[in-house]
Amino acid sequence: MFQRPAQQSEKLRKYHQIFIVALIALNSLKCIDSHKAPSVDPWLSFNWPAADSLFQNDKYWIGGDGGYSIDLGNERVLWLFGDSWIDSNGSGSRKNAVMVSNTVAIQQGYDPSKASIEFFWNLKRGKAEAYFPDNDRVRYWPGHGIRVGDKLLLFLMGVYSSDIGLGFEVKDWKPLLIFNPEDDPDRWEIKYFEAISNDLQIIVGSGGVLQWNNFVYAFGAQELESKHDIYLVRWSIENIDEGQLDLIQWWGGDQSDWINNKDRFNSAIPVFDKGQTEFTIHYDEKDSIFIEIQTEGFGSANIVYRNATSITGPWSDPKIIFSPPQNQFPNIMIYQGKAHPYLLSTSPVVTYCTNSFEFADHLREDWLYYPRFVRIK
């Protein structure tokens, strides 16, 4: 595990404060004024404190958001986090911690209430840094990914400073392949591909990634003007295995069907609108449907779902399945709702993240800024 001590400068704290607040806005801005509120399904849903402790018992990794998970097989689960608090002294206090752009963790065991977990980040000259390295111009937040044969495909979102809007922009996406995902992340062999941008700022892999038949499908949100229309691309399994990620196809609707990358701006269309930057989509074999999970709202928010019998839609309108109890707290932010269908529980498992519009709450409230588990019945 990579660890390190450090003091965080006031300038750096303010920098991360902007990014934390902006991330929530990015994930939530969407459409609270442009469409009717989602209906409520009569599901029984409740928090799962025994599983919450999975993320809250490490004295070095003391908070983060994001929370995509990927089944690596053999009861190993990869977790991907965005901005994360690291206290290399192990004091357990964020006052002694620094924030890095991303971290990863390996959970051993499929039941999060009983599993163990180990967190990973980089260490450079005694200083904690992001697991997926930043550079002078761009920071990286993890999107989703998938195990494909003996490889692991992941997506990163490129985050750039901006003088307008929220002070940043998610402008491109960077895929990567890991050739030995059976090893721990400190021994991974990683191939990074070139960052990919487009005029519509569609961030491929910001949303759910799944394998269906002989293809890998990746959903991505359109970040231009925070529209959050959701687009869909795919690669053949063979293309993934050979690292030919340039051979991408975009969904162009029933008339155009799947179109080549070079034609994407002429014909690609969203599969649904009013999405989020981050969300999950998985196939439920019991009911033979695809299920999308996200949050909806800005600040106080609910977890909602959509479904479809085909991966390309049509997708249903969103329905509320859980209203987090933290909605009652002042300055609260609820965001990044995601499903984790392979985790063992008596009922389906989703997570969401909690944050605050007041950055000082990170230092005062120990329960804040962790993914939280929910069981859906």
CA distance 15 to 156: 20
Residue 265, pLDDT score: 66
**Segment 186-223, tens digit of pLDDT:** 999 999 999 998 888 899 999 999 999 999 999 999 98
State the pLDDT at residue 33. Answer: 38
- In this structure, the number of other CB atoms found within 10 A of the CB of residue 109 comes to 16
Q: Which residues contact 374 (CB under 8 A, 6 or more apart)?
A: 45, 46, 47, 48, 303, 322, 324, 349, 350, 351, 352
User: Strand, helix or coil at 151?
Assistant: strand
CA dihedral angle for residue 252, residue 257, residue 260, residue 263, rounded to 10 degrees: -40
The confidence score (pLDDT) of residue 38 equals 66
Q: Quote the pLDDT of residue 262.
A: 66
Model pTM? 0.90
Q: In the prediction, which pLDDT does 4 show?
A: 37
Task: Rounding to the nearest 10 degrees, give the CA dihedral for residues 249, 263, 144, 313.
Answer: -70
Q: What is the pLDDT of residue 34?
A: 36
Q: Tell me: domain 10-376, CATH 3.20.20.60, correct?
A: no
Which residues of the chain are under the pLDDT cut of 50? Answer: 1, 3-15, 28-35
Per-residue CA distances from 150 to 79, 195, 199 (Å): 18, 23, 34
Q: What is the pLDDT of residue 165?
A: 62
What residue ranges do the domains of the chain occupy? 10-376
| The pLDDT of residue 322 | 95
